Amino acid sequence: MRYAHEVGKVRAAERALMARLPDGALMQRAAAGLASVCARVLPAVYGSRVVLLVGGGDNGGDALYAGARLARRGARVQAVQAGSKIHEPGLAALRLAGGRLIHDGEAAAIAGADLIIDGLTGIGGTGGLREPHARYAALASGSAGLVVACDVPSGVDASTGRVEGAAVEADITVTFGTHKPGLLIDPGASHCGVVELVDIGLGPDLPDPDVVAARPADVRPPEPGPESDKYRRGVVGILAGGDAFTGAAVLSTGGAVRGGAGMVRFASVARPVELVRQRWPEAVTTVIDPGPHEPKVLERVGRVQSWVVGPGLGTGDAAESLLEAVLTTDLPALVDADGLTVLSRRRDLLARAAPTVLTPHAGELARLIGAGRDAIEAARLDHVRRAAAELSATVLLKGSTTLIAEQDRPVRVNATGTPRLATAGTGDVLSGLIGALLAGGLPAMDAAAAGAYLHGLAARLASAPAPGPEAPITAHDVIQALPAAFRTVQGGAPA
């Protein structure tokens, strides 16, 4: 796992470590790591043109000391001061190594640099960048040289990923001690480029993380054993689709079939059932009446170990009665799409002891918790935590970075997503996939996180099966690539 800690926890760990170290030792560790990464990405350090964008805080000091190290190796290092203050010992070290502080021609220096180190602000920076910081950030982001951010790109809120106004667009972000949530969560994550973690010794002083992101080895979907049969592997029940939205039925069923379920039981009105039978003959299907349903309707579907309800189901009385029937069981349940719309007017149905997974996008979450969609997109971490607490559920917030939250637990970030998933039907596939993982016995948060990881990985494999640019994909392509995604996390194929 990659662990991320919010700024207050990082500051406390730094203070504890600095109390045991000589003055300045921690900054020297950070500067050494920063300089090492910069030297590695430059074609040659000797003769390279390096510009430091330096604010008045500790990140400015890190940049100055790193610049001094590069200058001693023959780089031509110039520092641009933003604001009235500068880290004087760092500046003295830079000058001693042959670097210099420039007072005019900053734009030309930035434009002509091979590498730019962003030390304008630190992890404590919040709100939009002010001048001249915003102007320097724009010049760096538009330059041809490599941009390396020190700890966090200036303009990105390190704890949340918020970006309010101008921010540095980095090619590489060198972060110290631990990841920060804003490096993993959009919109901040999109400003970071490749994130390199430098160990400066904070580990023993860091508490539990606020955010975690899985690596392939951390994703462990259920695997069949010698004694497995279709029932032990998990039976998932899917209530999806209607006469208006038949595709959701086919796609959610496909996600469950390819997601490792031992059996998929699908129920809907006649037309979706017919299409599911044609496309997925493995599924056991049941035709149910189009009108409102009694709770015993689920008995007709058969015994299952988890439920998926909502994709393409409609939002009328019939859909509401099916949702109520599912959420009054004692089985794990996933609610998506139309089911979330119904749930926004029937939040009372969430008062249940069994695990519940909700998979909204920002608009659906806005209806569920009464927040603005734009506000959710701007502060995804805050709102997914709020939703998990208010709704007493596992909440998977879809988006450019998918977040999964449960109350009083670190939020999980999925890093495998791709913009290619922004196409109709992929959310239905995800619903069926997570439903299968729930039926296989994974706890709600693990099922949601593993499902998001495998779903994103499948999309990447489908869009770029060979080296080269990604190609457009459909939801069906994601389903077809799921077996390859499972093999990848199980060690059977390269990532």
Give the residue from 87, 38, 435 showing the smallest Cα distance to 263. Answer: 435
State the pairing for strand pair 402-405/411-414: antiparallel
Give the residue from 167, 107, 172 showing the smallest Cα distance to 143. Answer: 107
Residue given tokens 């609610």 in the structure block:
335
Burial class (CB in 10 A: 0-12, 13-18, 19+), 204: exposed
Q: In whole angstroms, what is the distance from residue 22 CA to residue 19 CA?
A: 8
pLDDT along the chain (495 residues), means of 10: 96 96 96 98 97 95 98 98 94 98 95 98 89 96 97 96 94 98 94 97 95 92 75 91 93 97 96 97 93 82 96 94 95 98 96 97 96 92 96 95 96 92 94 97 97 96 79 94 94 51
Please check whether residue 194 is in contact with residue 395, taking contact to mean a CB–CB distance below 8 angstroms: no
Q: In whole angstroms, what is the distance from residue 28 CA to residue 24 CA?
A: 6
The ranges assigned to domains in the chain are 2-213, 216-489
Report the chain's C-alpha Rg in angstroms. 26
Amino acid 230: pLDDT = 76
Annotated binding residues for K(+), written as ranges, equal 59, 118, 154
Distances (CA, A) of 450 to 50, 217, 364, 430, 486: 42, 11, 22, 10, 10
Amino acid 221: pLDDT = 87
Q: Options 3.40.640.10, 3.40.50.10260, 3.40.50.1980, 3.30.300.350; which CATH number does 2-213 get?
A: 3.40.50.10260
Annotated binding residues, written as ranges, equal 58-62, 118, 122-128, 151, 154, 248, 312, 361, 398-402, 427-428
The residues near 336 (Cβ < 8 Å, ≥ 6 apart) are: 252, 308, 309, 310, 311, 358, 359, 360, 427, 428, 430, 431
Amino acid 492: pLDDT = 53
Provide the 10 A C-beta neighbour count for residue 409: 14
Torsion from C-alpha of 123, 91, 149, 200, nearest 10 degrees: -60
Q: In whole angstroms, what is the distance from residue 90 CA to residue 69 CA?
A: 11
Amino acid 22: pLDDT = 96
Amino acid 495: pLDDT = 40
Annotated binding residues for (6S)-NADPHX, written as ranges, equal 58-62, 122-128, 151, 248, 312, 361, 428
Which architecture, in CATH terms, is 216-489?
3-Layer(aba) Sandwich (3.40)
Q: In whole angstroms, what is the distance from residue 88 CA to residue 270 CA?
A: 76
Alpha-carbon dihedral sign for residues 17, 19, 22, 26: positive
CA 259 to chain centre: 21
Distances (CA, A) of 152 to 18, 21, 70, 139, 398: 21, 24, 20, 17, 24
Convert 318-352 to b/e letters by CB count within 10 Å (16 or more is b): bbbbbbbbbbebebbbbbbbbbbbbbbeeeebbeb
Annotated binding residues for AMP, written as ranges, equal 398-402, 427
Please check whether residue 113 is in contact with residue 143, taking contact to mean a CB–CB distance below 8 angstroms: yes
Burial class (CB in 10 A: 0-12, 13-18, 19+), 59: buried
Amino acid 494: pLDDT = 42
Whether the ω angle into residue 132 lies within 30 degrees of 0, i.e. cis, is yes
Give the residue from 215, 153, 209, 158 showing the smallest Cα distance to 181. Answer: 158
Three-class secondary structure assignment of the chain: CEEECCHHHHHHHHHHHHCCCCCCHHHHHHHHHHHHHHHHHCCCCCCCEEEEEECCCHHHHHHHHHHHHHHHCCCEEEEEECCCCCCHHHHHHHHHCCCEEECCCHHHHHHCCCEEEEECCCCCCCCCCCCCHHHHHHHHHCCCCEEEEECCCCCECCCCCCECCCCCCCCEEEEECCECHHHCCCCHHHHCCEEEEECCCCHHHCCCCCEEECCHHHCCCCCCCCCCCCCCCCEEEEECCCCCCCHHHHHHHHHHHHCCCCEEEEEECHHHHHHHHHHCCCCEEEECCCCCCCCCHHHHHCCCCEEEECCCCCCCHHHHHHHHHHHCCCCCEEECCHHHHHHHHCHHHHCCCCCEEECCCHHHHHHHHCCCHHHHHHCHHHHHHHHHHHHCCEEEECCCCEEEECCCCCEEEECCCCHHHCCCCHHHHHHHHHHHHHHCCCCHHHHHHHHHHHHHHHHHHHHCCCCCCCCCCCHHHHHHHHHHHHHHHCCCCCC
